[in-house]
Amino acid sequence: MDNRPFRSVLYIPASKPRAMDKARGLACDAIIFDLEDAVAVDEKPAARALLARTLQDSDFGPRAKLCRINGFDTEWARDDLDALAPARPEAILLPKVNTADDIQQLADILDSHPGTADTRIWAMMETPLGILNAASIAAAPRMAGFVLGTNDLAKDLNCRFRVDRLPLQCALQTCLLAARAAGIVAVDGVYNAFKDDDGLRAECEQGRDLGFDGKTLIHPAQLDVANASFAPDAAAIDLARRQIAAFDEATTKGLGVAVVDGKIVENLHIVTARQTLARAEAILKLQKAL
């Protein structure tokens, strides 16, 4: 996994040309162009054609661009892929992934289209069976990331909404373990109350503390909170620099540890510190390019 930012991953309905055009000017790290839940049944053929044209004709800059197709349990998935293939999509997001066989099926279809040789696969982790198979799904062909579908997962688990998301913690951490073991991205689920900044901030901070790379969002109004929550702040950057400097000085003296702010700093802390600085640099680079 590289340092490419995925702090804010915004869903955009692929049936809405104005929304897709507006997305080019938003401060999101990644876009999910949605052909699934956000598109009504009778609009799906027009939406997939519109998305294919948009990907070919529009410049969305350095943002990551994911296309969520309809699931293999529907009649629309193959048509979605056939329509999108000529546009050479960066990534396909597959909903309702239950097993690694689902990823293999998608990989085989992509292999049959010469224009999708570099297209990566992301998996919506939103079913109990998918969570139980997270490790094998993460290691499947072309896999680049997980997107947590917490609304669907909560429905299937029949769990209650709680601010601390305790009923979902096992599933969240299982997916994180699998993603980290496979070296892929993991993005947290959506926060439904898009006008509740305080609630969003609390859930973003929880996701960040768990280890997620960012959060999926349903409204542009949520971008600022997610971007701030999942970026290293000034204090974290300062600490990382001081840890590296102190450890380098200790190393020149033949020591294996340093002390910063009264705490031991070992090599493992330096790995984290360098990751923090690399992440901050990647975010700054993306911001300058948008």
Per-residue pLDDT of the chain (290 residues; tens, 9 = 90+): 678 999 999 999 999 999 999 999 999 999 999 999 999 999 999 999 999 999 999 999 999 999 999 999 999 999 999 999 999 999 999 999 999 999 999 999 999 998 899 999 999 999 999 999 999 999 999 999 999 999 999 999 999 999 999 999 999 999 999 999 999 999 999 999 999 999 999 999 999 999 999 999 999 999 999 999 999 999 999 999 999 999 999 999 999 999 999 999 999 999 999 999 999 999 999 999 88
Contact 95, 127 (CB under 8 A): no
Tell me which residue of 215, 6, 148, 28 sits closest to 19, measured CA to CA: 28
> What is the value of pTM for the model shown?
0.95
DSSP 7: S
Q: Cβ–Cβ contacts within 10 Å for residue 6, how many?
A: 24
Bridge partners (DSSP) of residue 123 are 94, 146
Contact 70, 95 (CB under 8 A): yes
Output the six-digit token pair for 4: 């490419």
First to last CA, the chain: 22
Contact 51, 33 (CB under 8 A): yes
Rounded distance, CA 132 to CA 122, Å? Answer: 17
Contact 1, 185 (CB under 8 A): yes
Tell me which residue of 64, 66, 27, 5 sits closest to 290, measured CA to CA: 27
Chain position carrying tokens 């040789």: 117
Decide: residue 117, CB within 10 A, 0-12 exposed, 13-18 middle, 19+ buried: exposed
Return the pLDDT at 115: 86
DSSP 190: -
Rounded distance, CA 252 to CA 271, Å? Answer: 18
Tell me which residue of 208, 235, 240, 228 sits closest to 283, measured CA to CA: 228
Return the pLDDT at 1: 65
